[in-house]
Chains A and B, each alone.
Chain A
């Protein structure tokens, strides 16, 4: 859990994902499209991935915790939440506030 929070606060946008998960790839692709330089942590490539996954499950309350997006150190949620925010036009302001975007 600490590892998760530690990593989450290192950058404006932090994404925990799995390299094999294509769904996570969509989120990554979206942030890339928005011009955000997100820090991506692949849980299956990290030695302490299983631990972090468990922590994320507790945080998110879902069976599959990835992708998990943290903006400005705070947990935003999974793909659903990101899409809702983005269509609502709220994602970009959030990113701007966190300092991930400068435009």
Chain B
């Protein structure tokens, strides 16, 4: 028969302190020595986790107390067996001594205080040699002080505080980890956005005085619209692919082809508006991805390149078609060359305008005249960009005239795919692992 030990005795709180021990233990209110013993055993034998350092002092204290109390109750029970199993004590020898001390001091309070003293001594001992806890039993004999409730309470409070701070640390570390992940994600997104030509506003220095507000809005409007355009383009490309695979009728294909062509017309339209707003921005190609920019020609793709991409996809072609395609290739190349030469001439002219009269003898009015002249020349850029877009548009239209509907669908699919892959290449390139500088 086991005597129940009052747990509130002298402030001695032997309820289990939640120090990262297995969840099943939390909230358990011990009401008997059995529970104490079992918990102590569990604590000593449970698998160690990182935030639960092995609490020798705690566990051993529990074992001691179990031992002591069991002895006090003078019942040979399994509690003795438990500590023995743990290999920490020499129970027989120690129990005897403790039993004596208890007989000497029979009040519950003093018993508890002795235990506390033992624990304190135990702490010191255990710091050095956790595995040999034979010594303290002797010290235990010598102690006979009144129980220090305050000490007990403080110890318990310390335990609580330590537990709380460990929990807080855990939460903090988790927050840090998630913030770090988020930061990495945001950096990646920023890289991607830069690659896709988000205008970070660095080039607005050259724009006309006092109009930077409107120029900026023109540019941002274009960027937004272009973003939508690309999304729609991807959608239409997938639709074309699905339609071709499903072998839909020519009528349906024609509808898809015509909507794709008018989608390109939309692009040229928004480009024309953007060219009036900021032609240099358009020509810089910053609104395109990096790989697309590599192929940039007067603010867009080359018409002749378009044909080179399309032609292999269009077999089989009739002889007439082959001739027509060849002619188209030749004339688009010639038109391209003509525009390129015009651009070269513009560069030359501009350079000449800005370098004339640099001897300094001319005065401010001549300088202003020079600038006005140069400004006039720059306005021609808008015409060039518009004409280049016109070439692109005409090339597409002509191809549609030469080809059958099915061939045109295949060609547009190939074109959409090509640009999609260029964009994907840009992203991959931006995200590639780089060697540290």
Contact = CB atoms under 8 A, between A and B. Distances in A.
Interface of A: 20-23, 25-27, 29-30, 33-34, 79-80, 83-84, 86-89, 91
Secondary structure call for the A interface:
helix
Interface in B302-348: 324, 327-328, 331-332, 334-335, 337-339, 341-343, 345-346
Contacts of B26: none
A87 B387 contact: no
B394 A88 contact: yes
Interface residues on B, range: 20 to 34
A51 B332 CA distance: 35
B342 A23 contact: yes
Nearest to B303: A87
A1 B334 CA distance: 32
Interface of B: 324, 327-328, 331-332, 334-335, 337-339, 341-343, 345-346, 349, 377, 380, 383-384, 387, 390-391, 394-395, 398
23 contacts: A20-B349, A20-B377, A22-B342, A22-B343, A22-B345, A22-B380, A23-B387, A25-B341, A25-B342, A25-B345, A26-B384, A29-B337, A29-B338, A29-B341, A29-B342, A34-B334, A79-B383, A83-B390, A83-B394, A84-B394, A87-B331, A87-B391, A89-B328
Given A21-B380, A83-B387, A26 B342 contact: yes
Contacts of A84: 390, 394
Contacts of B380: 21-23
Nearest to A34: B334
Nearest to B387: A79
A23 B377 CA distance: 10
B342 A86 contact: no
Contacts of B349: 20, 22
B398 A33 contact: no
A91 B328 CA distance: 12
Given A30-B337, A87-B331, A89-B324, 14 more contacts: A22-B377, A23-B383, A23-B387, A26-B341, A29-B337, A29-B338, A79-B387, A80-B390, A83-B394, A84-B390, A84-B394, A87-B332, A87-B394, A91-B331
Contact of B335 (A21, A25, A86): A86
Contacts of A91: 331
Given A83-B335, A87-B328, A23 B341 contact: no
Contacts of A87: 328, 331-332, 335, 391, 394-395, 398
A61 B343 CA distance: 25
Given A87-B332, A88-B394, A89-B324, A33 B337 contact: yes
B423 to A, nearest CB: 27
